[in-house]
Amino acid sequence: MDAKEVRLERMTRVEAWERIESGGACVAIIPTGSIEQHLEHLTMGHDIRSATAVAEAVARRVYPSAIVAEPLRAGISEHHMAHRFGSVTLKPGTFHSVVWDACDSFVRHGMEHVLILNGHGGNVAPMRGVVNQFRRYFDAGIHFHSYWDFLPPEVAEECLVTGSVPGHAQEFETAMALHMFPDTVRVHTQALSTDEGVRAATAASGEGLLEAIVAALATHVESMARGDAPAEIDGL
């Protein structure tokens, strides 16, 4: 195992247990996202892939405090089903049940804090409506945030021409993809040549966005590990 492995599925049970039992790992990060259309230039796995990439970067930054769970790939994407083809959607109750069971698994194994780190807008309202119930039931530090919640406004203003965050397959998501996984961006598509926001996206701006998000989110995860993180983020 890598000396700084952060992904649960790459650990043996002994390696995972030693991290938890020692008190080194007390925060589980569960990436959530979607599999859905992202126009003609981004692949359908963008949301979950970006949430997972941010989760891993944060976990490495705060090592050994956090372990990244297996990503929950499908999300609530009914509003994309009219765009053929390939979007996968879960009913809100199904999504809630899967996230609930994932939280339950970690709490039962001794993790005191769980961060549900989201990368898809369609999951936000349904999860915000139930996360307090999660906290009460588990009597644990259950947090739900989208990774872009941690982007300081001044960084968005500096890095983005349009200033729109997150947008759907627009400048913000395209810039993040160009930096984190450029192989997924179809650079010779109509969207890149005609959409002003998409055309403005660069890998350099994506790097600046990612660094700012990871830095702020790492501070939040460290606060979770201490037990003094605010449940709600008022804006950075």
Q: Please report the pLDDT score of residue 196 as a whole number.
A: 80
Question: What tens digit of pLDDT does each residue of 170-216 get?
Answer: 999 999 999 999 999 987 666 566 678 888 999 999 999 999 999 99
pTM for the structure as a whole: 0.94
pLDDT at 157 over 80: yes
| C-beta neighbour count of 143 within 10 angstroms | 24
If you count them, how many residues does the chain have?
236
Q: Please report the pLDDT score of residue 87 as a whole number.
A: 85
Homologous superfamily (CATH) for 8-150+213-226: Creatininase (3.40.50.10310)
Question: What tens digit of pLDDT does each residue of 84-119 get?
Answer: 677 888 999 999 999 999 999 999 999 999 999 999
Question: What tens digit of pLDDT does each residue of 31-90 get?
Answer: 999 999 888 899 999 999 999 999 999 999 999 999 999 999 999 886 756 666 778 889
Q: Please report the pLDDT score of residue 197 as a whole number.
A: 82
